[in-house]
Structure 1
């Protein structure tokens, strides 16, 4: 969540972007209440006047206001900032609840398990299964383009490789190690802060699986997990205050 005034701005612009007709202050106040933000109609009116002044909204006579093209761009910026703020909070919560070493241990365990699922998947994958992985990659890249979280597609990608391996024990291990759904967004945030290209690792894995090259698939998977481990460690090194917070 953003700071108070910026969260108000974000939610009002989001409400206007979803509306099919101009909205007045009263309707916006009710929509904000539905999103658990309580503001008076007078406060909503004040925020709207500020948004008008900045060119983010435009008045339609007595009908109310609608979002402007400039406002739509502003909404996308705030949406990205909000996503980063939420992910940063998730990472800090995970560090506090589990500890730094346990979080890093998850990645070490993933490296050991998923190198084997990648080898087996390279041996067993059918053309249809490769197409499914490419579809998941396309969905991930679309989410990146929209500045949305790719964590759900990342989890689905790795579970699909485990399924393709045809080894039920390894697939169960992958499921077990990915039970904490909050870790995915936390790792994603650390990788973004390290300016890593999130889709390229998955593309290299798919190419190796499609070629049925077991050694190459294993190396691509190990590199992918090690890239994540490196980025998380780098983020923690560059933000030593997180280590202090995690110990509290």
Structure 2
């Protein structure tokens, strides 16, 4: 079956994700490693090797779309070359491919039901999200700050609802995205992927048992206020405290489960 890209293609990668990313990566990598300009006909073998059976005309249209968004440059009849923006996009695609592989391993860890592994994930999140919060205070747009504040309010409003886990994740993802650091944002997405719902649900149960659900939501409100005030150090400190609290709750839950039961010595019969 021949697969063709959509007729209207504002930016490569916005269609069906797997196909679009694969086509874009193959095209850009082929151009990046070529010794000179390439045309659609020369590109076809690489696309077909990647499972994309396009006609030459289809590949030509796709290359023109890449020209329009600045990822490639046409040199007329000589063919096309990759641009500096195209090389940046290729690096981004390669990074996301590697993170996707890491994400699969993270999901496997989560499925292990091992509290130690889940706690390790929280430590990894802390390393990423603390710096993301500091950067978000400096770099977030007004629209991003408004979205973060709304997410914090939503979380506070639904602490008694089953929706609270998703709202908490939304908040953390928005903060990471507002850092405008692609690596930090991508890593946060990996750790907060819906495929890892077991971790989120377990943490929610632990927090609920400890009476910490409402305080956690209030942490988000305070953090949103620090971001709105552009106070990077306060945002960093609040995110650190928030995740430290989660780690302590998870570790206390683990240690309680491991604590050996004390057996009473039976009284001698008279």
TM-score class, shorter: 0.5 to 0.7
1:134 aligns with 2:149: yes
1:192 aligns with 2:181: no
TM (norm. structure 1) is 0.55
Please state how far the C-alpha of 1:160 moved relative to its aligned partner. Answer: 0.6
Within 5 A, what are the aligned runs for 1:130-169? Answer: 130-145=145-160, 147-169=161-183
Please state how far the C-alpha of 1:194 moved relative to its aligned partner. Answer: 1.0
TM (norm. structure 2) is 0.51
In 1: Cα distance, 2:204 partner to 2:143 partner: 28
In 1: Cα distance, 2:192 partner to 2:120 partner: 12
Deviation sequence 1:157-183 (CA, Å, 0-9, x none) = 111111111111111111112231221
Contact 1:193 1:235 in 2 (8 A): no
Q: Which has the higher contact order (CA 8 A, sep 6+)?
A: 1
Q: Mark the structure with the bigger radius of gyration.
A: 2
Root-mean-square deviation over aligned CA pairs: 2.1
In 1: Cα distance, 2:142 partner to 2:153 partner: 16
In 1: Cα distance, 2:140 partner to 2:111 partner: 40
Question: 1:232 is matched with which residue?
Answer: 250
Within 5 A, what are the aligned runs for 1:176-187? Answer: 176-179=190-193, 180-187=196-203
Equivalent pairs counted in the alignment come to: 148
1:214 aligns with 2:232: yes
Contact 1:149 1:185 in 2 (8 A): no
**2:112 counterpart SS class:** helix
Contact 2:133 2:176 in 1 (8 A): yes
In 2: Cα distance, 1:207 partner to 1:95 partner: 32
Structure 1 stretches lacking a partner, 5+ long: 1-93, 243-248
Structure 2 stretches lacking a partner, 5+ long: 1-108, 261-270
Deviation sequence 1:42-72 (CA, Å, 0-9, x none) = xxxxxxxxxxxxxxxxxxxxxxxxxxxxxxx
Please state how far the C-alpha of 1:241 moved relative to its aligned partner. Answer: 7.5
In 1: Cα distance, 2:219 partner to 2:122 partner: 15
